[in-house]
Structure 1
Amino acid sequence: MLPNGDIVRQVLLGEKGVCETVSSDALVIDMSTIHPLQTDALIRELQEKGINMMDAPVGRTSVNAIDGTLLILAGGTDEQIARARPILMCMGNELVEAGGPGMGIRVKLINNYMSIALNALSSEAAVLCESLGLNLDVGAIKVMSGTAAGKGHFTTTWPGKVLKGDLSPAFMVDLALKDLRIAVDVARKTGAPLNMGIAAESYYAAASQDGKGRQDWSALLNQVRQQAGL
């Protein structure tokens, strides 16, 4: 696991690098978190040299690394993953087959994006809680740990709604937009920063303007898909 793609490239393809000495039947496994396009390029260049390469970045924490309970996100052919599994499972207790070579880092990227962005959103919510004079343990931690705010939409609202194609409203987009705007207004008045909330407001407003206002709030997924051209 190396800190960036340039170092991975140097180790593999640089002077006295791995590719100068590795045997033709070797399988190179990159466990670094680097740009997916760098991973793709390295896989392609090693293939041109007759060397197999897959990616297997990891999830969870440094404690899991010490305990050997990391989540392995394997991107490779069936044969590559089967060959690598005994080695990878020495470091982790769960292996997710993400797809072909280069797909592991893509799953890791999405996971990190959401985790890092949620850290910022959680920080904003905590500061708003404090700025309103609420006890953080009650106003945020106890309440949010029992709702979609803390549990996340992948496992709460989405499975029974937008992922099934059911947009009948349990909680309408327009109502979500109304509540979000109240929170943003309160934050402005108390001086609490709500940059993540302002960004979210633009998505909900666009969904409402596009006729999704009376759909379930999970329809926001379709709004973002639409903006992505999907």
Structure 2
Amino acid sequence: MGMKTVAFIGLGTMGGPMAARLAANGFDVRGYDLDDRKVEALVAAHGTGCTSIGDACRGAECVVTILPRDEHVRSAMLGEGGVLENIGPGVLVLEMSTISPSTSLEIAARLSERGVRMLDAPVGRTPQDARDGRLLVMAGGAPDDFAAAHEVFSAFADKILHMGPQGCGIRMKVANNYMSMVTMVLTAETLALTGKAGIDEKLAVEVLQNTVAGKGQINTNFPRKVLAGDLTPDFPLALGHKDISLGVRLGEELKVPLFLGASARELFGLAPAMGLAELDCTAMLLILEKLSGMDAVREGGLKS
């Protein structure tokens, strides 16, 4: 085992079961959390409870941090008595919190000045997946550091992806969570609309679970259309504009606020002026790329 002793800072909803998985897989896990009950839970899972970050970091070859917010990570890493004060050059830090990418890059740079390596490596999926060892890790940083961390990640994850250089892991996590929270609103808007329309909730859910709308465009249309270079219209943007307009109008009639729908209608309305109206609805990606000023050009949907 390349890194046998792991300091684990943050034993919360995700960190607690992740640390327990490491202990169950033979790692010497030295855990710290502000909540003594969480430290006791790690001890019950055969880890070692510590009373400070310094205590946890003593002798560690790898440090894992997973904390709620930017200020918590910055304090734990760079503050008095923090990680940087208590480790030496060559230690690998796995920063697994969901924080601002700029904060993550700032911390990585500060650690690097002292010869400390870092991967930004947040996780996806649920606390139950953490308990079962089925998390998804999205890591950014040097390939050699990613390879060195693989055995640690494998204790609690069954999908481990190297997203690219420093910062790519946390940027991917932020983008993933953006999609998750927006679809949370979209789902709520849709169920509010069907409910106000007098449709049985269970039947509405059954319909949505069995159509592209509920299964998600990233699982259905996008991979086989725009991302595969095919913009021949299964359903053109022009008809998409018609359908989103019908939905927004129904919301207006029923007095259901459809905030996302109103914004989406505006985006679909840009397609004719861009010469995209007769392309497949997944060409919405081209509209957003153009509005973003992206240099990459898609020929028939493929980025080149």
TM-score (norm 1): 0.95
Q: Which moved more, 1:69-78 or 1:183-192?
A: 69-78
CA–CA distance in structure 2, aligned partners of residues 192 and 205 of structure 1: 22
CA–CA distance in structure 2, aligned partners of residues 65 and 193 of structure 1: 37
The question of 1:180 aligning with 2:244 is answered yes
The question of 1:144 aligning with 2:205 is answered no
How far the C-alpha of 1:128 sits from its partner, in A, is: 0.4
Give the aligned residue type for 1:222: L
The aligned runs of 1:4-153 (5 Å cut-off) are 4-139=69-204, 141-153=205-217
Give the aligned residue type for 1:171: F
Question: With CA pairs under 8 Å and 6+ residues apart, which has the higher RCO, 1 or 2?
Answer: 1
Give the aligned residue type for 2:222: W
User: Is the Cα–Cα contact under 8 Å of residues 123 and 135 in structure 2 kept in the other structure?
Assistant: yes
Which one of the candidate residues 158, 182, 195 is aligned to 2:222? 158
How far the C-alpha of 1:137 sits from its partner, in A, is: 2.0
Q: Which runs of 5+ in 2 are unaligned?
A: 1-65, 295-304
TM-score (norm 2): 0.73
CA–CA distance in structure 1, aligned partners of residues 111 and 78 of structure 2: 9
How far the C-alpha of 1:155 sits from its partner, in A, is: 2.4
CA–CA distance in structure 2, aligned partners of residues 164 and 88 of structure 1: 31
CA–CA distance in structure 1, aligned partners of residues 178 and 229 of structure 2: 25
How far the C-alpha of 1:145 sits from its partner, in A, is: 1.7
Name the SS for the 1:39 alignment partner. helix
Name the SS for the 1:154 alignment partner. helix
Query: What percentage of aligned pairs have identical amino acids?
Result: 36
CA–CA distance in structure 1, aligned partners of residues 166 and 279 of structure 2: 38
Q: Match of 2:44?
A: none
Q: Which runs of 5+ in 1 are unaligned?
A: none
Give the RMSD, CA atoms, in angstroms: 1.3
Give the aligned residue type for 2:235: F
How far the C-alpha of 1:49 sits from its partner, in A, is: 1.5
CA shift digits 1:66-102 (9 cap, x unpaired): 2222111121212111111111221222211111222
Q: Which of the two has greater helix per residue?
A: 1
CA–CA distance in structure 2, aligned partners of residues 16 and 130 of structure 1: 54
CA–CA distance in structure 1, aligned partners of residues 249 and 202 of structure 2: 23
Q: Match of 2:235?
A: 171
Name the SS for the 2:217 alignment partner. coil
CA shift digits 1:126-150 (9 cap, x unpaired): 01001111112222x2222222211
Q: Which of the two has greater strand per residue?
A: 2
User: Is the Cα–Cα contact under 8 Å of residues 88 and 115 in structure 2 kept in the other structure?
Assistant: no
CA–CA distance in structure 1, aligned partners of residues 160 and 272 of structure 2: 40
Q: Which moved more, 1:85-94 or 1:219-228?
A: 85-94
Q: Match of 1:196?
A: 260
Give the aligned residue type for 2:81: K
CA–CA distance in structure 1, aligned partners of residues 183 and 214 of structure 2: 10
How far the C-alpha of 1:184 sits from its partner, in A, is: 0.5
How far the C-alpha of 1:208 sits from its partner, in A, is: 2.7
Give the aligned residue type for 2:157: G
CA–CA distance in structure 2, aligned partners of residues 16 and 166 of structure 1: 55
